[in-house]
Amino acid sequence: MVTAAVGIVVSRRRRGAPGPARKVLAEPRSGWHAVTVNRGQDAVLPGGRIPAPLTAFGQDVEVEARPAPGDRGTELRARFRGGGPDPQGRLRAALREAKQLIEVGEVLRVDPVPHGRRKATPTGALVDVATKRSNEEGVL
């Protein structure tokens, strides 16, 4: 009985505070989103020009490039200037697309599947939903 109670207490402490307090701690404090690009700073922002996927946000986004930690290329960072509800998922997707354009020269896509259509199945529907959300959410 005591062992079970200790296990519950340890489990709750590992998970952290439930509810809104935990959500606040998980959000980035500065609002910056970043990707590390395996290129020099001149290739990331040539002539001070912002990469094409980020230009869609216009003046609403602040963009900067700086040397990545450990001399591993350049860190491309972006955040929204004003307050209010911002499409953070779209910003993360735009940063990933900019990274791909700079490093590879094109944005790689999962769809359409080159081998044709598959039969509709419940598992296939889950994969389709996960694939559509992964670019903005950051996980597949």
34-82: pLDDT as tens digits:
999 999 999 999 988 999 999 998 888 999 999 999 989 999 999 988 7
Name the residue among 73, 3, 7, 8 with its Cα closest to residue 34: 73
CATH for the stretch 30-108: 3.30.70
Rounded CA separation 125/68 (Å)? 38
Query: What residue ranges do the domains of the chain occupy?
Result: 30-108, 109-140
pLDDT band at 113 (very low <50, low <70, confident <90, very high): low
Q: Tell me, what's the pLDDT at 10?
A: 40
Do residues 23 and 89 lie in contact, with contact meaning Cβ atoms separated by under 8 Å? no
Give 42-45 contacts, CB < 8 A, sequence gap 24+.
43/74, 43/102, 44/74, 44/76, 44/102, 45/76
Check residue 51 and report its DSSP letter.
P
Residue 44 has what pLDDT?
92
Distance (Å, whole) CA 110 – CA 113: 7
Structure tokens at 21: 């307090």
Q: Is the pLDDT of residue 21 over 60?
A: no
